[in-house]
Structure 1
Amino acid sequence: MSKDIQGLGLGLASRFAGSELAKKYGLRKPAERIAYLWTKKGFQFVGKLQADKAKKKAADPLLLAAPAAHGLFDLTLTDEQQMIKDTVRSYAEEVVRGLAHDANEAMTLPENYLEDIQALGLNFFSVPEVLGGAAQSYSPTTSAIIAEELAWGDMSLAFATLAPVGVANAIVRWGTPKQKDTYLPNYLGEKPVKAAIAVQEPNALFAPKMLATKAKKTKRGFEISGVKTLLPFGGEADLYLVAARYKKQPRLFFVRGDSEGVSWKAAPAMGLRATATGTLKLDSVHVDSDAMLGDDTFNYQSFIDLGQLHWCALAIGACQAALDYLIPYVNEREAFGEPISHRQSVAFMVANIGIEMESMRLMTWRAAALAEMGKPFHREAYLAHVLCADKAMEIGTNAVQLLGGHGFTKEHPAERWYRDLRVLACVNSGLHL
C-alpha cells in the first residue's frame, strides 16, 4: 500500500512538472525537486515498513533465522534501482520502441526526441547534489541498468540518449573542480546537451591506446589535430571529449563543436543509424589550458573499460528485447501442423540465447560493481566485453534465423538488432558508465 501511495504521489508530481501550467508559471524546477524528494522520502518510509515487517517475522518461533550476511556479491537491486529500472523500461516501451523503426529509416533522431526524454531526469542524476543535481553517489551499476532498459526499447536511440550522460559521468569521475563548475551546470537547464566522447579513429586495427590524433602544448593551451569516427548527432554536438596523444600518453580534451578547425562529414554506418553517425576532423584546433580532462590521477585504461562496459549494457538490453520477441513468435508460428518451438533445434537455440544473455549480464554487473567499490576491475571489464562482443553478434544472427524469411525483412525488428549488435566488436568510443 505504501508503495502505491508513493507511486501515485510521484506520478502526480512528475506529471505536473511536465505540464503547460508548470511551464507557464515557472514551477517546473520546484515540481521536479518535489518529485525527487518524494521519491527519496518515500523509499525511506517503505524501507522502514519492510524492516518492521521483517522484525515481526523474525520473532515467529516457527520461522528459521535468516542466514548471516557475508558481504558476497549480490545481484539484488535496491528499491531505488528497481524503481529506476521500472521507470526507464516503461518509457522505453511506451515511447522509445515506437520511434525506433522510423528513426532508423530516416537516419536521424526523431523531432524533439532529446527534449522529450529529459522527462526521465537522466541529466539530473548525472550531476552531484552539491551542484544542483540529484546524484548522491557514483554508481556504474545503476548506469548499466538504465542503459539496458533504454536499449530494450532501441539500442540506437539509447546511444543518442546516453552519449551526453557519458560525458557528464567522465567529468564527475575525472574532472577538476573548475571543469565540473564549467560544464556540469549545462545539464541542469531545459535545453538538452548534445555531447559525445570521441575516441574511435578510422584506422585499420585501431586500438584505443594507439591514437593517431595528437595534442601539443601551445602558449595559450593546446593544439589538437586528428580524425574521429562513429560520432553521433550529425555534427550538431555542442561538446566533444576528444582522446589524443599528448607527451606519448593518451589524454582527453574538451573541444567545443563550433571551434575553428572542427569539421564534420556524414558517414552512415551499418547500425546505430538513428544517431546520424559521422566523422569529425580536427585541423589544428586550439583549446585553452584548462581543456585537458582531470589531472595526474586520470586513468585512461579505466576510462576505456567503463566505456566498454556501457556498450555491454546496451547490448544486453537489445538481446533481452530479442529474446522477449522470439519466445512468443516461436510458440505461435506453426510449421507442419505444430509450433516451431516444438522442434528441438529451435527450442535449444532460444534457450541458449537466454543462457548467454544472463552470462553477459552477470559479468557486466560484476565489473561495474567492482568499479563502484573502487576496486580493480580491468580484468573483469575485459572479459565482459569479449563475451558480450561475441555473444551479441551470435544472438543477433540467431534472432534473424529464428524468424526465417521474416528476419530478413523490415517488418520485424530482428534485422535492426542484428545490425546494431555488431557494433560492439567495432567501437571503443562514445560512452562512459
Structure 2
Amino acid sequence: MRVHRFLPTDEARQLIGLATEIADAELAPRAADFEERGEYPRELLRMLGRSGFLGLPYPQEYGGGGQPLEVYLNVLEILAARWLCVAQSIHIHTLACHPLHAAGGDALRKELLPDMLGGELLGANCISEPAAGSDAAAMTTRAVADGDDYVLDGTKAWVSHAGVADFYNVYCRTGGSGPAGISCLLAPGDTPGLLPQSPERKMGVSASPTAQIVLDGARVPRERLIGRPGRGFLLAMGAMDIGRLGIGACAVGLAQAALDCAVGYAKEREQFGQPVIEFQGLGFLLADMATQVAAARSLVLSAARLRDSGERFSTEAAKAKLFATDMAMRVTTDAVQVLGGYGYTKDFPAERWMREAKLLQIVEGTNQIQRLVISRSLS
C-alpha cells in the first residue's frame, strides 16, 4: 500500500528511496531466517552504517547525516516494515551515540564519533537493573574512582546488543542517592570485568540479543566519563524523548507491514464466490486498521517536527509512543485474524509481527509510564 510522505528536501526523498531499496533487497529476504535462528545481523548493520543510516540525526562534521528527526523517523519506519530487529538496532545505536555527542569532550568525540556514526562501532545502553527499571534513579551499580580509572561493580539488565556491542554507556552511581548521584561512563566492549550473560529467551525480536551485563571490577579510564560527575541521569532522560519517537516509528512500520499483508491476502482469498475483502465485516476491519496506522504516523511525525523546530516535545513524544505501540498491537492482532488459520502459522509473518509488537509497548518506558507522563502534563 502506497504511503504518501511529505519530505522537506530532495536529499530526504533520495534517502527514503535508498532506504526502501536496501530494505526490500537486503532486509526483507533475510528476516524470517535470522529470527528463526536467533542470529544477530551484524554485517547488515555495518553495511547500513557505511550507507549512512546509523548517524542520520547527527551533524555532518562528525560523519553523521545532518538530517531532521522527521526524516530519520521516516527511515526507521521503512526499515521496520521489512525487519523490526534492524530498525530497532539502528534506534538503539542512535541513542547510544547521544551521550558522547551531547556531553563528551572534544578529543573523545573526534576519536570515536566518526566510527560510531559510520557503523564500525556498535553501541549499547546500560540503564536498567534487575531491581531498577522504570525507576532508573534507584540504580545501585557503582563506580569508584581509583587512580586514573573508575572501577565498576553491579549488574545491568535488559541490555540490547549485549555481547555484540563495541561500546556500552554504563549509567552508574558515582555519588549519593537519587538522580544527582548518577554518572555515565563509556566502556569499551572488551573491558575486562564487563561480562555479558546468556541472552534472554524472548517471545519476539529473537535476532537481537538482550541480556544482563555483570560488572565485576571493570576498570574504565577517567577520560571516558561523559560530562561531569552526576550528569548521567540528565543524559539518559535527554535521549528518552527521541527514543520514544523512534519506537513509535518502528511501531508504525510494523503495523504498515501487517496491514499490507492482510489487505493482499483479503484481495486474493475467495469465499462464497468473491474476495473476502468485499465482505463488509472484513472490509470495515481493514479500514479501521488503515486509519489507525495513518493516525499513528501523523502523531509521531508531528512530535518530530516540534523537536526539529526547537519546541518542547516531551509530552507529544509520550502520546506518540503510547498511541503508536498500542495501535501496532491491535493491527498486528487483527492481521492474524484476517488471515485466519494461516495467520497462526509461521508460513506467514503475521504471527511474528504480533509477537514483536508486544515488545514495543514495553521498551523506552512502558505504556503505563507514558500515561503517567501525559497525565502529569495536564495538571
Range of TM-score over shorter length: 0.7 to 0.9
> What aligned pairs does 1:17-416 form with structure 2 within 5 A after superposition?
76-110=7-41, 112-123=43-54, 125=56, 128-131=59-62, 133-136=63-66, 139-187=68-116, 192-203=120-131, 206-207=133-134, 209-219=136-146, 220-233=148-161, 235-247=163-175, 248-249=178-179, 250-265=182-197, 266-295=199-228, 298-416=234-352
CA contact (8 A) 1:88 1:150 kept: yes
Q: CA deviation at 1:171?
A: 2.9
CA contact (8 A) 1:214 1:245 kept: yes
Output the amino acid matched with 1:363.
Answer: L
Separation (CA, whole Å) in 2 of partners of 1:184 and 1:208: 30
Q: With the length of structure 1 as denominator, give the TM-score of the two structures.
A: 0.74
Separation (CA, whole Å) in 2 of partners of 1:232 and 1:201: 13
SS of equivalent residue, structure 2 residue 29: helix
Aligned length: 352
CA contact (8 A) 1:401 1:407 kept: yes
Query: Which residue is 2:368 aligned to?
Result: none
Separation (CA, whole Å) in 1 of partners of 2:99 and 2:272: 55
Separation (CA, whole Å) in 1 of partners of 2:238 and 2:96: 14
SS of equivalent residue, structure 1 residue 242: strand
Larger CA deviation: 333-342 vs 81-90: 333-342
Separation (CA, whole Å) in 1 of partners of 2:323 and 2:77: 16
Separation (CA, whole Å) in 1 of partners of 2:235 and 2:12: 28
Q: CA deviation at 1:405?
A: 0.8
* Deviation by residue 1:132-179 (Cα, 9 ceiling, x = unmatched): x25346x22222112111111110122234433332344333433233
Larger CA deviation: 167-176 vs 94-103: 167-176
The runs of 5 or more residues in structure 2 that have no matched partner are 366-379
Separation (CA, whole Å) in 2 of partners of 1:76 and 1:194: 28
Larger CA deviation: 408-417 vs 74-83: 74-83
SS of equivalent residue, structure 2 residue 196: strand
SS of equivalent residue, structure 1 residue 282: strand
The runs of 5 or more residues in structure 1 that have no matched partner are 1-73
Output the amino acid matched with 2:139.
Answer: A
SS of equivalent residue, structure 1 residue 274: coil
Separation (CA, whole Å) in 2 of partners of 1:259 and 1:420: 32
Q: CA deviation at 1:103?
A: 0.4
Separation (CA, whole Å) in 2 of partners of 1:78 and 1:281: 45
Q: CA deviation at 1:245?
A: 4.2
Q: Which has the larger radius of gyration?
A: 1
* Deviation by residue 1:275-302 (Cα, 9 ceiling, x = unmatched): 1332222234332223333345955423
CA contact (8 A) 2:143 2:172 kept: no
RMSD: 2.6
CA contact (8 A) 1:126 1:169 kept: no
* Deviation by residue 1:191-244 (Cα, 9 ceiling, x = unmatched): 73221222333448x305344243344143433333333434451321011233
Tell me: CA distance 1:180–1:398, structure 2 relative to 1, closer, same or farther (3 Å).
Answer: same
Separation (CA, whole Å) in 2 of partners of 1:119 and 1:356: 34
Separation (CA, whole Å) in 2 of partners of 1:210 and 1:345: 49
Q: With the length of structure 2 as denominator, give the TM-score of the two structures.
A: 0.84
| % identical equivalent positions | 27
